[in-house]
Amino acid sequence: MPLPTRSSRALAMVSFPVVLTLGILTIPVVVDYRDHDLAARAATHSVRWFWGHMFTGAAFGLATVAACAMAGCLLRTRHARWVYVGMPMMAVGAALHAVGLGADGIAPLAVIAGGGRAQTFFDGSGGLVSGVFLAGAVAFGVGLMVQLQGLFRIGIPSSRLQPMVFLSAIAFMGFEAVPSGWGLYGVAGASWVVFGTVAASMWRWHGSPQHGVDPERGGLQ
C-alpha cells in the first residue's frame, strides 16, 4: 500500500478546520448557553440547528484523520512515542465531541417533534452534555499538544511558528470552555491557526524515514 503523499497529509489536516468552520457558522448563535431559554429558541431554527451540529460533529470525525496524518509523519521519522499517547487521546476526544454534538443537535428537535418544549431537554441534560464536551475538550486538546510536541522536533512547522501554533492549541481548549456561541468562533479561528499552519508545513516537508531530514537539502523541513 503506497504511503500517503505530502498533498494528502496536508488535505487531511486542513479538512478539519474547513468543515468545523462550516458547522459553527451554520449553528444559530446562543449568546449564553447557561440560559436554557436562549438555547431552546435557537433550536427552533431546526434546519440550521440540525445541520450545524451534524457538520461540526463530522468535523471531529475528520479530526481523527488529521490525527492520523500527524501520526504518519511521526512514525515515518521514528518518533512513535508521541503517537502512542497523543493519537488515542485525540481520537477519544473527537469521539466525545461527536457524541455531545449529536445529542445537542438531535435531542431538542426530537422533543419538539414529540410535542414537548426544547427547553425540557436543556434543563434536564445540561450538566451531562457539558461534562461530555469538557472531557472531550481536555482529551482532544492534550492529545493534540502531545502530537504537536513530536512534530516540533522534526521541524513541523518552523521554529518561529511553533509558539503561535502551541498557544493556539491551548486557546482551542480555552474557547471551548466559554459558555457562549461566540466562543465557538474562537474555536474555529484557533483550529485554522493550528491545523492550517501544520498543513502548510506538511505540504513542504520532505522528511526521511530516519530523521525527518530532506536528503537533497540536508535539513529539517
- In angstroms, the CA 126 to CA 28 distance is 18
What is the pLDDT at residue 219? 35
Label each residue of 165-179 as H, E or C: HHHHHHHHHHHHCCC
Residue 42: closest CA among 26, 20, 55, 57: 26
Write the pLDDT tens digit of every residue in 121-149: 999 887 889 899 999 999 999 999 999 99
Write the pLDDT tens digit of every residue in 170-202: 999 999 999 999 999 999 999 999 999 999 999
**Is the C-alpha dihedral spanning 123, 124, 125, 131 positive or negative?**
positive
Buried b (16+ CB within 10 A) or exposed e, 127-150: eebeebbebbbbbbbbbbbbbbbb
What is the pLDDT at residue 208? 47
Query: How many alpha carbons lie under 13 Å from residue 96 in its C-beta half-sphere?
Result: 20
- In angstroms, the CA 59 to CA 54 distance is 9
CA 88 distance to own-chain centroid: 14
C-alpha cell at 51: 445541520
What is the pLDDT at residue 207? 62
What is the pLDDT at residue 17? 98
Write the pLDDT tens digit of every residue in 46-95: 999 999 999 999 999 999 999 999 999 999 888 889 999 999 999 999 99
Write the pLDDT tens digit of every residue in 2-49: 456 778 889 999 999 999 999 999 999 999 999 999 999 999 999 999
CA 51 distance to own-chain centroid: 17
pTM of the predicted model, to two decimals?
0.89
- In angstroms, the CA 17 to CA 123 distance is 31
